[in-house]
């Protein structure tokens, strides 16, 4: 018994030693700079397209996350100043200038904008938020930074191996789930990938290939294979470089075909963490421009291991808990009896990226319970087109909007009203089907992340049909990008 305990203790000790081994800081510093520059670029894109006004100033109503209704948009012009500050902080992160303050402030301020409106949820926003949260814990400013110039005692050419593996593990989770969630009936039958590619056929000289069912199927199945088999192969020295290059081609192609912002470039930047920790030096040497720099100091045949501290042990524990949550959160859709593609329960934060095409149409009806008066409400009367487009495909947001209408009519002098929805949705080219039960008073329904929406959402019953057998749909399609 004592021998087994000793062996187990020895294995744990060796694992902890591996996590504390010192490796080159170069890949971590390169990711810090890439992350900061990409986020600063995204801030500039928002200003250029006037998205701050369209997303947070123009709307009369914002769809808050459960428990975060107290987060409200700043008035003009301060909300513009706040978004500009996000860009300034991102540049400070890239430069490693007062890095610890900059990355924590960036994470908090970016979280504020992220939580303002569910209608603006994008997977790459969530991805950026996770990476910024991790960077708050990592010593990414010890080299190639202004801080390293200003504070000599901070400088170091190495970081503990756990700093690299934290980002690797987070990226591995994202990539694996991006493949797992696509194992659905529709995706395996090449939809909605085929719909999207055929819609872009006229934009490319080789667009006629998008009508070839076999090639589209190869793209759909190849995407699953890349994530399920390619992502683990990034962990092995012999296969990581060719798989990394395949991922680069994949992400660049996504950027060409789809409007998904900085997501492909952020994914490429994160994937560089699977390369050797000193890959920038190796790349420079391969290009023949610089001399190869010495590797980090080795001791007794292995990389040097820094003395452990209670702080580092606690930090590794926090990171372990973080990764466990990241592995579990995408599985929560299994707790609901509804179809996640249809009812959307468990859709967010689960890496269901670019795998649905939903078009919806409909209105809501407000009924005065006392006098019997009825009002047909077009969502565009109260929402921006982007909000309305997203809301009509998300039952939880339809419910939120119904409660908003109840409050609005109460303010107008009708204290007792009922709210009904007349909404139809098409999923991945299927015929339109009623999404919300028309006889359910949504004003009386409550939503929480711990209760299913099955009481007011219909079951998906329309069967999948090949694209050659369909009639064109017409409705409000959700914004691309996930």
One-character DSSP codes across 391-455: HTT-HHHHHHHHHHHHHHHHHTT--SEEEEEEEEEEETTPPPEE-B-TTS-GGG---BTTB-STT
Q: Same domain, yes or no, for 307 and 409?
A: no
Q: Which of 333, 349, 372 is the last residue of a domain?
A: 333
Structural domain harbouring 437? 357-477
| Cβ pair 83, 39 in contact under 8 A | no
Q: Same domain, yes or no, for 99 and 166?
A: yes
- pLDDT value for 293: 46
- Residues sharing a CB contact under 8 Å with residue 261, sequence separation 6 or more, in sequence order: 42, 45, 122, 124, 481
**Is residue 198 situated within a structural domain?**
no
Q: Same domain, yes or no, for 153 and 255?
A: yes
| Cβ pair 360, 398 in contact under 8 A | no
**Is residue 462 situated within a structural domain?**
yes
Q: Give the separation between CA 347 and CA 460, rounded to whole angstroms.
A: 16
Residues forming a β-bridge with 303: 298
Q: Give the separation between CA 444 and CA 420, rounded to whole angstroms.
A: 10
Q: Same domain, yes or no, for 376 and 473?
A: yes
Q: Same domain, yes or no, for 432 and 285?
A: no
**Is residue 92 situated within a structural domain?**
yes
Q: Give the separation between CA 448 and CA 397, rounded to whole angstroms.
A: 12
DSSP run (H or E) holding 299:
strand 298-299
Q: Same domain, yes or no, for 362 and 301?
A: no
**Is residue 62 situated within a structural domain?**
yes
**Is residue 82 situated within a structural domain?**
yes
Among 81, 77, 78, 69, smallest CA distance to 115 is for 69
Residue listed under structure tokens 């992400």: 251
**Is residue 345 situated within a structural domain?**
no
What single DSSP character describes residue 362? E
Number of domains in the chain: 2
Q: Give the separation between CA 149 and CA 97, rounded to whole angstroms.
A: 10
Q: Give the separation between CA 74 and CA 254, rounded to whole angstroms.
A: 34
**Is residue 158 situated within a structural domain?**
yes
> To 10 degrees, the CA torsion angle through 40, 45, 48, 49?
-150
Q: Same domain, yes or no, for 240 and 158?
A: yes
HSE-CB for 139 with a 13 A CA cutoff = 19
Q: How many residues are recorded in the chain?
A: 482
Q: Give the separation between CA 24 and CA 215, rounded to whole angstroms.
A: 42
Q: Same domain, yes or no, for 320 and 389?
A: no
pLDDT in tens, the chain (482 residues): 555 555 555 666 677 788 889 999 999 999 999 999 999 999 999 999 999 999 999 999 999 999 999 999 999 999 999 999 999 999 999 999 999 999 999 999 999 999 999 999 999 999 999 999 999 999 999 999 999 999 999 999 999 999 999 999 999 999 999 999 999 999 999 999 999 999 888 888 888 999 999 999 999 999 999 999 999 999 999 999 999 999 999 999 999 888 888 999 999 999 999 999 999 988 887 776 544 545 555 544 445 555 556 667 788 889 999 999 999 999 998 888 888 999 999 999 999 988 899 999 999 999 999 888 999 999 999 999 999 999 999 999 999 999 999 999 999 999 999 999 999 999 999 999 999 999 999 999 987 777 777 789 999 999 988 877 766 555 555 554 45
C-alpha to C-alpha distances, 220 to 72, 212, 215, 319, 470, nearest whole angstrom: 40, 13, 9, 33, 20
**Is residue 227 situated within a structural domain?**
no
C-alpha to C-alpha distances, 67 to 28, 70, 175, 347, nearest whole angstrom: 35, 8, 29, 18
Phi-psi region of 448 (alpha: psi -120 to 50; beta: other; left: phi over 0): beta
Residues forming a β-bridge with 358: 427
- pLDDT value for 480: 45
Q: Same domain, yes or no, for 436 and 375?
A: yes
Q: Same domain, yes or no, for 305 and 408?
A: no
Q: Give the separation between CA 272 and CA 280, rounded to whole angstroms.
A: 10
Among 114, 112, 113, 110, smallest CA distance to 89 is for 110
């Amino acid at each position: 018994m004592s021998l087994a305990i000793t062996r187990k203790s020895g294995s744990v000790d060796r694992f902890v030693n591996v996590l504390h081994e010192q490796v080159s800081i170069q890949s971590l510093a390169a990711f810090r700079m890439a992350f900061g520059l990409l986020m600063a670029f995204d801030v500039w894109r928002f200003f250029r397209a006037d998205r701050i006004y369209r997303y947070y100033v123009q709307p009369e109503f914002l769809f808050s996350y459960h428990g975060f209704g107290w987060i409200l948009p700043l008035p003009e012009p301060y909300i513009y100043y706040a978004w500009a500050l996000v860009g300034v902080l991102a540049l400070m992160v890239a430069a490693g200038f007062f890095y610890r303050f900059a990355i924590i402030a960036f994470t908090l301020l970016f979280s504020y904008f992220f939580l303002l409106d569910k209608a603006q949820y994008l997977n790459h926003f969530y991805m950026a938020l996770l990476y910024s949260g991790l960077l708050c814990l990592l010593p990414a400013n010890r080299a190639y930074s202004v801080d390293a110039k200003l504070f000599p005692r901070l400088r170091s050419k190495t970081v503990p191996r756990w700093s690299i593996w934290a980002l690797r593990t987070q990226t591995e989770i994202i990539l694996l789930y991006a493949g797992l969630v696509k194992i659905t009936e529709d995706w395996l039958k090449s939809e909605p990938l085929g719909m999207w590619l055929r819609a872009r056929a006229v934009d490319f000289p080789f667009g006629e290939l998008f009508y070839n069912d076999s090639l589209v199927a190869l793209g759909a199945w190849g995407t699953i294979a890349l994530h399920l088999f390619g992502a683990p192969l990034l962990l092995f020295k012999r296969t990581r470089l060719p798989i990394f290059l395949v991922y680069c081609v994949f992400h660049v192609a996504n950027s060409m075909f789809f409007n998904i912002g900085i997501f492909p470039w952020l994914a490429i930047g994160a994937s560089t963490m699977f390369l050797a920790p000193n890959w920038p030096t190796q790349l420079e040497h391969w290009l023949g421009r610089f001399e190869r720099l010495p590797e980090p100091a080795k001791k007794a045949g292995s990389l040097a291991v820094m003395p452990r501290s209670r702080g580092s042990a606690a930090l590794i524990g926090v990171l372990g808990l973080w990764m466990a949550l990241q592995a579990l959160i995408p599985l929560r859709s299994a707790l609901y009896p509804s179809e996640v593609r249809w009812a959307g329960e468990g859709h967010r934060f689960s890496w269901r990226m670019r795998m649905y095409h939903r078009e919806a149409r409909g209105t809501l009806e407000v009924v005065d319970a006392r006098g019997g008066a009825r009002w047909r409400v077009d969502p565009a009367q109260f929402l921006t087109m982007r909000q309305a487009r997203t809301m009509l495909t998300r039952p939880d947001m339809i419910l939120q909007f119904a409660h908003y209408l109840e409050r609005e009519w109460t303010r107008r002098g009708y204290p007792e009203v009922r709210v009904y929805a007349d909404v139809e949705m098409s999923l991945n080219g299927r015929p339109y089907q009623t999404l919300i039960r028309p006889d359910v008073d949504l004003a009386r329904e409550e939503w929480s992340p711990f209760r299913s929406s099955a009481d007011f959402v219909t079951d998906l019953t329309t069967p999948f049909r090949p694209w050659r057998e369909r009639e064109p749909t017409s409705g409000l399609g959700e914004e691309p990008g996930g």
